[in-house]
C-alpha cells in the first residue's frame, strides 16, 4: 500500500545575495504571471554541483525526484553534502514547498529535522515537553498520557522542573529526542538525530528507532551519513546526487552504489576541490607500493604496504609543528586504522626540503575489504581553524583475504583488524 508518493519534485534556489537585482527578477516574474506566461527563470538554472563555478544565478537543488513509499517501509536517503537530502526533507515536512511537482500522502508526516525545535529557555523541562510536543503536532491529552514515559526516557527527571536554560546541551538533546521519540505520526522523517548525545544515549536512540521501524510498523524516512545505520535500519534506499536520483533499490545496494561512486571520483586527486583547510600544503598524489617498490592497488591481509604521499607546496608553513594523520576507513566510513606522526614520535621538519612522505606498514593487519584513505594535515594543533589540508576518500586500497596464520585458511572479510596472537588450550 502506497502511503507516500513523490512526483517530479524539483526545487530551485537563487544564488547570491538578495538585493535590488532580485527585485527586478521578482518584477519580471510577476509581469510574466500577469500575462499568463510561464516563469522565465524556471528554464534556467544549472545542476547543483557545489564545486563547479556557477553559470547561472539559479540552481536546481532537486530535479525530477520520483519515489513511492509503502506503508511500514523504512526508506534510507543517502547522498553527499549538498546532494539535496535536506531540501527533500524540508519539502516532505512542509517547511518549504517544491518549485514544481507534488507529494501526495495518506498519512500525517512528522519530522525530527533537528530536535529541540521551539524549546524556550525560560520554561521548565516539563513545560517544554508540552510546548515541543504541541509544536510537533501532539495534542495536550496525548502528551499527558506519555509524560511519565518521556521524562523517564530522557533521564532528566531530576531537572524536569528547572528552566531549560540551566540544562547542559546534552540534557537538552536528551529531552528533545525523548519528546520526539514518543510522537506517533504515520510517517516519521528523521535526519541525523543519532549524531548527538553520549554513547549510552545513542544506543538508546538507535534502539528506539529500531522499535519504531520494526516493532511498530511505522513508515520512516531516514537520512544519514552513517552507512552502518542505514544498512541496519532501512529496507530500501535512494541515492541522491546533485539533486537527482542516482540510484533506487535495496538499502544494501544503495550503500554499495554510494560508496563505489565516491571512489570513482578519486581518479584525479589534485583536481579535487572538496578539500578543507587553508591549502598551504596539498596532498597531490597518493600511491601504494609493495615491498619491491612496485605500484599496487591492493594488498593481501597481513602483508607489507607502503603509502606514499606527494605534497604540493603553495606557501610556507612551520614544518616543525606539522601534524599528519593517515586514516583508513571501512566501507561504513568507520575508522579502522589510524597513523599520526605525533603519536609515532616523528617530526616532519625535513619536508621543508622534500616533497614525499612514506608510511611503511610491515604487516597490514586489516581483514579483506576495501578501505578509504582520509588524510589530514594541520599546523600547530588539530583545531579546525588550523587545518592545512583535509581530504576524505583520498584513495582506496583493496585488501585481499590472506593466510595470516599460515593455517591454510583465508581469513574472513570484515572491517576489524586481524591481530597476531596465539590460541592454546592449557591445563590449569
Partner 1 sequence: MAISDRDPWLYTISSKRKLIDFNFQEIWRYRDLLILFVKRDIVTVYKQTILGPLWYVIQPLFTSVIFTLIFNNLGSISTGMVPNFLFNLAGITAWNYFKECLSGTSDTFNKNQNIFGKVYFPRVIMPMSVTISNLLKFFIQLGIFFGFYMYYLSIGAGVQPNTSLLLFPVYILMMALMGLGLGMILSSMTTKYRDMTVVIGFGVQLLMYMSAVPYPLSEAHKKFPGWVATFVEYNPLTQIIEGFRYMLLDTGTFTWFGFSYTLVISVLLFLVGIIIFNRTEKTFIDTV
Q: Which residues of the shown chain bind partner 1 in the complex (CB under 8 A)?
A: 1-3, 13, 18, 22-23, 26, 71, 90-111, 113-114, 117-118, 120, 122-123, 127, 130-131, 134-140, 186
Taking the complex as a whole, the smallest distance from the CB of residue 18 to partner 1 amounts, in Å, to 6
Q: What is the DSSP letter of 413?
A: B
Residue with cell 517530479: 8
Q: Which is nearer to partner 1, 186 or 298 (CB)?
A: 186
Q: Give, for 295, the enclosing helix (H) or strand (E).
A: strand 295-296
Phi, psi of 329 (to 5 degrees): -110, 140
CB nearer to partner 1: give 118 or 207. Answer: 118
Minimum Å gap between C-beta 2 and partner 1 is 6
Q: How far is the CB of 92 from partner 1 (least distance, A)?
A: 7
For residue 338, how many other CB atoms are within 10 A of its CB?
13
Which grid cell sits at 403? 593466510
Ordered DSSP codes for 57-75: SEEEEEEEEEEEEETT-EE
- Closer to partner 1 by CB, 47 or 95: give it: 95
Cell numbers that stand for 38 in this block: 510561464
Residue number with CB closer to partner 1 (3 or 212): 3
Q: At 142, list the grid cell.
A: 496525548
Taking CB atoms within 8 Å and a gap of at least 24, the contacts of 146-153 are 146/182, 149/182, 150/178, 150/179, 150/181, 150/182, 151/125, 151/126, 151/178, 153/178, 153/181, 153/182, 153/204, 153/208
Cell of 125: 523541562
Q: Say how far apart CA 78 and CA 247 lie, in whole Å.
A: 10
Distances from the Cα of 159 to the Cα of 85, 120, 183, 415, angstroms: 36, 15, 22, 41
**What minimum distance in Å lies between the beta carbon of 239 and partner 1?**
22
Q: Which is nearer to partner 1, 131 or 289 (CB)?
A: 131
CB of 185 to partner 1, least distance (A): 11
Distance CA 428, CA 208 (A): 45
Grid coordinates of 167: 540544562
Query: Shortest gap between Cβ of 181 and partner 1 (angstroms)?
Result: 15
Comparing CB distances to partner 1, the nearer of 113 and 348 is: 113
CB of 133 to partner 1, least distance (A): 9
Select 117 or 210, whichever has its Cβ closest to partner 1.
117
Residue 109: partners with Cβ closer than 8 Å, 6 or more residues away: 4, 92, 93, 94, 185, 186, 187, 188, 189
For the bound state, the minimum distance from the C-beta of residue 140 to partner 1, rounded and expressed in Å, comes to: 4
The residues pairing with 299 across neighbouring beta strands, listed in sequence order, are 399
Backbone angles phi, psi at 248, to 5 degrees: -140, 130
Give the residue with the Cβ less far from partner 1, 221 or 251. 221
State which residue, 50 or 412, has the beta carbon closest to partner 1. Answer: 50
Four-residue CA torsion sign, 109, 113, 114, 118: negative
Q: Which is nearer to partner 1, 123 or 228 (CB)?
A: 123
Taking the complex as a whole, the smallest distance from the CB of residue 129 to partner 1 amounts, in Å, to 11
**Shortest distance (Å) from residue 232 CB to partner 1:** 25
Q: Which is nearer to partner 1, 218 or 244 (CB)?
A: 218
Closest CA to 311 of 280, 342, 289, 276: 280
C-beta of residue 228 within 8 angstroms of C-beta of residue 332:
yes
- The CA-atom distances, in angstroms, between 402 and each of 24, 62, 316, 408 are 67, 45, 43, 9
User: Measured from the CB of residue 52, what is the shortest distance to partner 1 in angstroms?
Assistant: 22
Amino acid at each position: 500500500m502506497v502511503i507516500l508518493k513523490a512526483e517530479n519534485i524539483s526545487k530551485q534556489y537563487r544564488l547570491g545575495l538578495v538585493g535590488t537585482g532580485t527585485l527586478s527578477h521578482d518584477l519580471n516574474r510577476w509581469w510574466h504571471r500577469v500575462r499568463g506566461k510561464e516563469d522565465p527563470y524556471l528554464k534556467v538554472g544549472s545542476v547543483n554541483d557545489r564545486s563547479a563555478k556557477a553559470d547561472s544565478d539559479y540552481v536546481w537543488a532537486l530535479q525530477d525526484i520520483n519515489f513511492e513509499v509503502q506503508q511500514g517501509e523504512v526508506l534510507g536517503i543517502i547522498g553527499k553534502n549538498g546532494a539535496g537530502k535536506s531540501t527533500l526533507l524540508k519539502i516532505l515536512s512542509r517547511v518549504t514547498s517544491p518549485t514544481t511537482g507534488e507529494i501526495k500522502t495518506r498519512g500525517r508526516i512528522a519530522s525530527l529535522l533537528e530536535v529541540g525545535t521551539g524549546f524556550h529557555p525560560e520554561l521548565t523541562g516539563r513545560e517544554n515537553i508540552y510546548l515541543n510536543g504541541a509544536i510537533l503536532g501532539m495534542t495536550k491529552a496525548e502528551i499527558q498520557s506519555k509524560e511519565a514515559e518521556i521524562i523517564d526516557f530522557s533521564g532528566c527527571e531530576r531537572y524536569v522542573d528547572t528552566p531549560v536554560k540551566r540544562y547542559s546541551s546534552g540534557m537538552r538533546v536528551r529531552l528533545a529526542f525523548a519528546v520526539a521519540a514518543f510522537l506517533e505520526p504515520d510517517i516519521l522523517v528523521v535526519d541525523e538525530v543519532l549524531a548527538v548525545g553520549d554513547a549510552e544515549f545513542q544506543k538508546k536512540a538507535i534502539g528506539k528507532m529500531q522499535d519504531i521501524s520494526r516493532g511498530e510498523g511505522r513508515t520512516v524516512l531516514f537520512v544519514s551519513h552513517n552507512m552502518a545505520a542505514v544498512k541496519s535500519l532501512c529496507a530500501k534506499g535512494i541515492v541522491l546526487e546533485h539533486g537527482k536520483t542516482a540510484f533506487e533499490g535495496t538499502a544494501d545496494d544503495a550503500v554499495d552504489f554510494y560508496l563505489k561512486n565516491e571512489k570513482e571520483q578519486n581518479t584525479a586527486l589534485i583536481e579535487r576541490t572538496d578539500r578543507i583547510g587553508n591549502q598551504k600544503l596539498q596532498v597531490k598524489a597518493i600511491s601504494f607500493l609493495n615491498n619491491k617498490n612496485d605500484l599496487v592497488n591492493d594488498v593481501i591481509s597481513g602483508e607489507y604496504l607502503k603509502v606514499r604521499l606527494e605534497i604540493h607546496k603553495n606557501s610556507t608553513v612551520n614544518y616543525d609543528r606539522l601534524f599528519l594523520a593517515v586514516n583508513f576507513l571501512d566501507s561504513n566510513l568507520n575508522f579502522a586504522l589510524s597513523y599520526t606522526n605525533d603519536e609515532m614520535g616523528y617530526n616532519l621538519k625535513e619536508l621543508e626540503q622534500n616533497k614525499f612522505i612514506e608510511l611503511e606498514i610491515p604487516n597490514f593487519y586489516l581483514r579483506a575489504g576495501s578501505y578509504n584513505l582520509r588524510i589530514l594535515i594541520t599546523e600547530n594543533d588539530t583545531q579546525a581553524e588550523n587545518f592545512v589540508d583535509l581530504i576524505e576518500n583520498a584513495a582506496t586500497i583493496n585488501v585481499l583475504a590472506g593466510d595470516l596464520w599460515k593455517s591454510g585458511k583465508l581469513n574472513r572479510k570484515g572491517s576489524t583488524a586481524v591481530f597476531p596472537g596465539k590460541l592454546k588450550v592449557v591445563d590449569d
